[in-house]
Amino acid sequence: MNKPIGIFITGTDTGVGKTVVAAGLALVLKERGMRVGVMKPVATGCFGDGKRLVSEDAVYLFEAAENEYAPLTNPLRFRNPLAPSVASVIEKKEIPIEKILKAFKELQRHYDFLIVEGIGGLLVPITKEYFVANLIHEMGLPLLIVAKGGLGTINHTLLTVDAAVMRGFEIRGIIFNRMPRVNFSIAEITNPKVVHDLTGVPILGTLPDLEDVDVERCRFGTLREVFKERVELDRLLGLQTVS
């Protein structure tokens, strides 16, 4: 069996839970004894002074995976919460794609498995002519799609799957995030099956809204236990193709 080398976590939108899912995966893989690396190639909306910008996403991932190479985890940072191509113009800072790819290759050497969190969705421009999808192509990683559970997600998820399939990406599966534990809407009950029936893409799990999980406060709470319980890990890793 080939050694799994990593996964690229994309979302149907910004704010759908990519960081939470990436951290959940890191926590579970670490528990399995794997050396897990994490990467947020470009982060916008960072805090701190001009010289030392910090990404909340990168800190969360870094803490979950207990990594050692902060500059490789998050090579490019911007203050403005915008698409990277726009933040880069406003902040007059270039985006050298080769710096991202160099950090990626170096992290791959240090770890058994690399979890890369995307920026927004597949067609977010990193530069004017280079999109998140271009980065996925160059990294050569399979995709995990994070989607929200409620109304609107069928359209967003199908658009994301279409864009991925058109580019020949391998999609390992979809995770629906922030499902309420009680008082489900009809959309939330039916969406996973509808999306599976329309795309054929495996639904790897649904994560509930967890009160003790918070990216901004760097709280993991019950994330590892719930992720283990609710997500089909072997299928996510490509170790099992038929459920």
Ligand X SMILES: Nc1ncnc2c1ncn2[C@@H]1O[C@H](COP(=O)(O)OP(=O)(O)OP(=O)(O)O)[C@@H](O)[C@H]1O
Of 17 and 125, CB closest to ligand X: 17
Residues between 69 and 108 that touch Mg ion (CB under 5 A): none
Which segment (15-23, 26-34, 162-170, 206-214) binds Mg ion by CB under 5 A?
A: 15-23
Residues between 16 and 35 that touch Mg ion (CB under 5 A): 18-19
Q: Which residues pair with 208 in a beta bridge?
A: 179
Of 19 and 153, CB closest to Mg ion: 19
Residue labelled with tokens 């893989």: 29
State in angstroms the smallest separation of the CB of 42 from ligand X.
11
How far is it, in rounded angstroms, from Cα 100 to Cα 81? 19
Give the 3-state secondary structure of residue 51. coil
Q: Which residues pair with 203 in a beta bridge?
A: 174
Q: Which residue is nearest to Mg ion (CB)?
A: 19
To the query of whether residue 40 is one of the catalytic residues in this protein, the response is yes
How far is it, in rounded angstroms, from Cα 35 to Cα 20? 19
How far is it, in rounded angstroms, from Cα 132 to Cα 44? 14
Burial bucket for residue 215 (CB in 10 Å: 0-12, 13-18, 19+): middle
Of 81 and 200, CB closest to Mg ion: 81
Task: Provide the binding-site residues for ligand X, judged by CB under 6 A.
Answer: 11, 14-20, 57, 120, 177-178, 207, 209-210, 213-216
Q: Which does 14 bind (CB under 5 to 8 A by kind): ligand X, Mg ion, none?
A: ligand X
